[in-house]
C-alpha cells in the first residue's frame, strides 16, 4: 500500500512547482535557453550560425535565423540516414517522430529524444494535477482509445513512428501514466494492434469488462472517442454477446490480440444483461458513456482547433459528464497545459510551461482571413519581429516559434495562437488555426502544397486524354457525415466518366499525410469528391473578387474555400456539372 502511494504523483506538489516557475517565467525562459544552448554548444548547426558557445537570448536571436521544417530537412535527413555526429544536438538523436503534414509528399521527420519524453510527462502531470483538484480520480483504470502505429526503421537504422507511438513505446510510459491514475485498461497487443478496427472493438470490450473501474475515458484527439462510440453503436449486441459467454468475436482475427484478449475475457452473463438493458433504455444513444461507465469522472482529449466540430456528437454521448480539453503541443515539442479544467472546450486555454522550451511569438496584426484576402500584402509583407514569452499582449494573435531540447532552434511551428490572459507571468494561449493549413476534417492536415501535388498527379491522367485543367480549388465538407474533401475542377473539354473516376481516385490517394490516410482507411473521412464545374466558373469567381475591390493583376484563386466564404462557395456549388466519389479506399 505504502509502495502504491509512493509511486503516485502528488498533485499539490506539482501545482506548487508550476506556480513557482510561472511566477518567474521571464527568468526561467532565459535559464531554459541557457541549458539548451549549453547542452548543444558543439552542434554543427549552432556552430555554423556562429553562436560560438554563447547562451544569452540576444546572441541567440541575432545569430540563429527563424526556420521552417524545410530549412532543417537536410540536417534531419542526415540524422535519419545514420550520421551520428553532433548535427543538431550534443547527444545523438536515436528516434524520429513523423509529424503531421508532409514535405513534398513525404511524411515530415522531426527529432525525438528523452527530453521530449520528459516534457510530455511533465505536461500530462501538470494538467492532471489541476484537473484532479476539481475532479479527483480514484484508483481505477482509463479507457483510452489509443493506437500505436508501427515504428519503421530509417535508412540509418533509427526508429521512426508518430510522436504518440514514440511516447507509448517509451519504457517509462506505463509507470508514469499509472502515477497519474491513467492506466490504460487494454493490453499492449490491442494498443499496438495492426488493425485499427480490431483495436477499437477490443478497447471497447476491455472497457466494458472493467466498466466499474473505469474512471476516465480518453484519447489523444477527441475524434477517436466519437469514432469509438459510433463503433459501439454498430456492434453493441455483439459486444454484449462476447461478455455473456466469454468469447471473442470472429471479426478479431489478429492472433496476438486474440491471445491477449483471451486472458481478460471470461463469461459474465450478469454484466452482459446489465449493459444490454442499459443500452436498450437509452434514447438515440444519448448519455451512452455514463450509462456504460457509471464511475467515469470525465472525458479527456484534445477538443480544440480542428476537433471542435466533434463536440456536438461527443456531448450527445457524454450527457452531463464533463469534457476536458487536453494539452497543446506537437511532434516538434510541447507548449502548454490546460490548467483551467472547468472551462468548456470551446474556451480552453493552455498555459505555457516556461521550462520545457524557449518560446517566441511573431505578432500577427491582421487576422489570418484578412491576410489571405489582402493580396497586396503578400508582396509587401515583412514579418514583424518576434517577441518573448512574457512580452505578448492579451487579445493579440501570434505565430508561435519553438526552440527545444531536441535540436529545433527558432522553429516556426506554423500555428496561430491568441493570448487570452496570463497565469502568473506565463501567457495562456488559445489555439486559433494552422497558418498554412488548407484542408482538415479531423486529424488530417494538408497544406496548399499537398493539394497542389495531389492535383498535379491527377492532372497527368487528364493530359493523357488531351484535356486541360483550367483551375481548381477545394473545400472540406464537414456537414456530411463523415466529413470529406471536395475538389472543384474546371476542365477544358469533355472528360469521360472513366477518366474522371480515375482522377478522383488519384486525388484521394495522392494525399499522403498520415492523418488523412489513416482516417480514410477507417472511414473517419469519407471518399474524396471531385466536382467538375461548368466552363467559366472561375471567371465568375474572379469577377466576384474584383467586384469586392481586388486587383485583377494580383488575383490568386483561393485554393481552399471555407464555409465562411459563403458567396464563393455558393458560386462553386451552383455551377457543378458532374461529380464523382473516390473508390480508392474500398
Question: Looking at beta carbons only, is 193 or 336 nearer to ligand AMP?
Answer: 336
Distance in Å, CB of 148 to ligand AMP, minimum: 14
Question: Looking at beta carbons only, is 434 or 531 nearer to ligand AMP?
Answer: 434
Distance in Å, CB of 345 to ligand AMP, minimum: 9
Q: What angle do CA 455, 484, 145 make, to 5 degrees?
A: 120
**Direct distance between the N- and C-terminal alpha carbons of the chain, in angstroms, rounded to an integer:** 52
C-alpha to C-alpha distances, 3 to 8, 137, 418, nearest whole angstrom: 9, 18, 43
Question: Looking at beta carbons only, is 305 or 357 nearer to ligand AMP?
Answer: 305
Question: Looking at beta carbons only, is 40 or 331 nearer to ligand AMP?
Answer: 331
Question: Looking at beta carbons only, is 361 or 472 nearer to ligand AMP?
Answer: 361
Distance in Å, CB of 199 to ligand AMP, minimum: 19
C-alpha to C-alpha distances, 117 to 113, 302, 323, nearest whole angstrom: 7, 18, 26
How far apart CA 366 and CA 389 sit, in angstroms, is: 20
Q: What are phi and psi of 45, to 5 degrees?
A: -60, -45
Question: Looking at beta carbons only, is 415 or 450 nearer to ligand AMP?
Answer: 415
Distance in Å, CB of 550 to ligand AMP, minimum: 29
Distance in Å, CB of 340 to ligand AMP, minimum: 13
Q: What share of the chain is helix, strand, coil (3-state, %, to 5)?
A: 45, 20, 35
Sequence-distant (≥ 6) Cβ neighbours of residue 529 within 8 angstroms: 477, 484, 485, 486, 487, 504, 579, 580, 581, 582
Residue pair 291/282 in contact by the 8 Å Cβ criterion: yes
> DSSP labels for 435-494?
SSEEE-SSS--EEHHHHHHHHHHHHHHHHHTT-EEEEEEEEEE-SSSS-EEEEEEEEES-
Sequence-distant (≥ 6) Cβ neighbours of residue 58 within 8 angstroms: none
Distance in Å, CB of 330 to ligand AMP, minimum: 3
Q: What are phi and psi of 320, to 5 degrees?
A: -90, 0
Question: Looking at beta carbons only, is 116 or 389 nearer to ligand AMP?
Answer: 116
Q: What are phi and psi of 141, to 5 degrees?
A: -125, 165
Question: Looking at beta carbons only, is 325 or 473 nearer to ligand AMP?
Answer: 325
Residue matched to cell numbers 471497447: 204
Distance in Å, CB of 336 to ligand AMP, minimum: 8
Q: Is 414 helix (H, G, I), strand (E, B) or coil?
A: strand
Distance in Å, CB of 170 to ligand AMP, minimum: 16
Q: What are the residues binding ligand AMP (CB under 6 A)?
A: 99-100, 163, 302, 304-305, 328-331, 413, 415, 431, 434
Closest residue by beta carbon to ligand AMP:
305
Question: Looking at beta carbons only, is 256 or 518 nearer to ligand AMP?
Answer: 518
Amino acid at each position: 500500500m505504502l509502495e502504491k502511494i509512493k509511486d503516485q504523483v502528488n498533485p499539490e506538489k506539482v501545482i506548487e512547482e508550476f506556480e513557482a516557475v510561472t511566477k518567474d517565467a521571464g527568468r526561467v525562459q532565459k535559464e531554459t535557453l541557457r541549458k539548451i544552448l549549453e547542452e548543444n554548444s558543439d552542434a554543427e548547426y549552432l556552430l555554423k550560425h556562429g553562436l560560438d558557445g554563447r547562451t544569452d537570448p540576444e546572441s541567440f536571436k541575432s545569430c540563429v535565423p527563424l526556420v521552417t521544417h524545410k530549412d532543417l530537412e537536410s540536417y534531419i535527413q542526415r540524422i535519419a540516414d545514420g550520421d551520428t555526429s553532433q548535427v543538431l544536438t550534443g547527444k545523438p538523436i536515436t528516434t524520429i517522430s513523423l509529424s503531421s503534414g508532409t514535405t513534398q509528399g513525404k511524411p515530415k521527420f522531426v527529432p525525438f529524444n528523452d527530453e521530449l519524453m520528459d516534457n510530455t510527462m511533465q505536461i500530462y502531470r501538470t494538467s492532471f494535477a489541476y484537473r484532479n483538484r476539481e475532479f479527483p480520480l480514484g484508483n481505477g483504470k482509463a479507457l483510452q482509445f489509443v493506437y500505436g502505429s508501427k515504428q519503421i526503421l530509417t535508412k540509418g537504422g533509427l526508429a521512426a513512428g508518430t510522436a504518440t507511438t514514440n511516447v507509448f513505446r517509451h519504457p517509462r510510459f506505463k509507470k508514469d501514466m499509472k502515477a497519474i491514475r491513467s492506466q490504460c485498461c487494454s493490453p499492449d497487443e490491442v494498443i499496438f494492434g495492426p488493425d485499427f478496427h480490431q483495436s477499437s472493438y477490443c478497447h471497447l470490450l476491455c472497457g466494458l469488462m472493467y466498466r466499474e473501474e473505469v474512471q476516465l475515458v480518453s484519447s489523444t484527439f477527441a475524434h477517436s472517442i466519437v469514432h469509438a462510440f459510433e463503433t459501439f453503436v454498430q456492434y453493441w449486441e455483439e459486444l454484449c454477446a462476447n461478455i455473456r459467454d466469454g468469447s471473442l468475436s470472429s471479426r478479431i482475427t489478429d492472433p496476438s490480440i486474440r491471445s491477449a484478449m483471451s486472458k481478460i475475457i471470461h463469461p459474465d452473463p450478469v454484466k452482459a444483461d446489465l449493459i444490454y438493458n442499459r443500452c436498450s433504455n437509452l434514447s438515440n444513444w444519448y448519455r451512452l458513456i455514463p450509462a456504460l461507465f457509471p464511475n467515469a469522472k470525465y472525458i479527456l482529449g484534445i477538443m480544440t482547433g480542428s476537433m471542435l466540430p466533434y463536440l456536438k456528437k461527443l456531448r450527445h454521448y457524454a450527457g452531463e459528464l464533463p469534457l476536458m480539453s487536453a494539452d497543446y503541443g506537437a511532434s516538434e515539442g510541447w507548449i502548454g497545459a490546460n490548467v483551467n479544467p472547468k472551462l468548456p472546450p470551446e474556451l480552453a486555454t493552455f498555459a505555457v510551461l516556461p521550462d520545457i522550451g524557449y518560446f517566441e511569438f511573431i505578432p500577427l496584426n491582421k487576422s489570418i482571413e484578412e491576410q489571405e484576402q489582402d493580396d497586396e500584402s503578400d508582396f509587401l509583407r515583412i514579418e514583424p519581429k518576434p517577441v518573448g514569452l512574457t512580452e505578448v499582449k492579451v487579445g493579440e494573435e501570434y505565430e508561435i516559434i519553438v526552440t527545444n531540447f531536441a535540436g529545433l532552434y527558432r522553429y516556426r511551428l506554423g500555428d496561430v495562437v491568441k493570448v487570452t490572459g496570463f497565469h502568473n507571468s506565463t501567457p495562456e494561449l488559445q489555439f486559433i488555426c494552422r497558418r498554412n493549413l488548407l484542408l482538415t476534417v479531423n486529424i488530417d492536415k494538408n497544406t496548399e502544397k499537398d493539394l497542389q501535388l495531389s492535383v498535379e498527379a491527377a492532372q497527368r491522367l487528364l493530359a493523357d486524354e488531351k484535356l486541360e485543367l483550367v483551375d481548381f480549388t477545394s473545400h472540406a465538407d464537414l456537414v456530411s457525415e463523415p466529413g470529406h474533401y471536395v475538389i472543384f475542377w474546371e476542365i477544358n473539354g469533355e472528360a469521360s466518366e472513366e477518366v474522371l473516376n480515375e482522377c478522383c481516385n488519384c486525388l484521394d490517394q495522392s494525399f499522403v499525410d498520415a492523418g488523412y490516410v489513416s482516417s480514410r482507411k477507417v472511414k473517419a473521412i469519407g471518399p474524396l469528391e471531385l466536382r467538375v464545374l461548368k466552363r467559366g466558373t472561375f471567371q465568375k469567381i474572379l469577377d466576384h473578387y474584383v467586384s469586392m475591390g481586388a486587383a485583377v493583376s494580383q488575383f490568386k484563386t483561393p485554393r481552399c474555400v471555407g464555409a465562411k466564404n459563403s458567396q464563393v462557395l455558393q458560386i462553386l456549388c451552383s455551377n457543378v456539372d458532374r461529380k464523382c466519389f473516390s473508390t480508392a479506399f474500398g
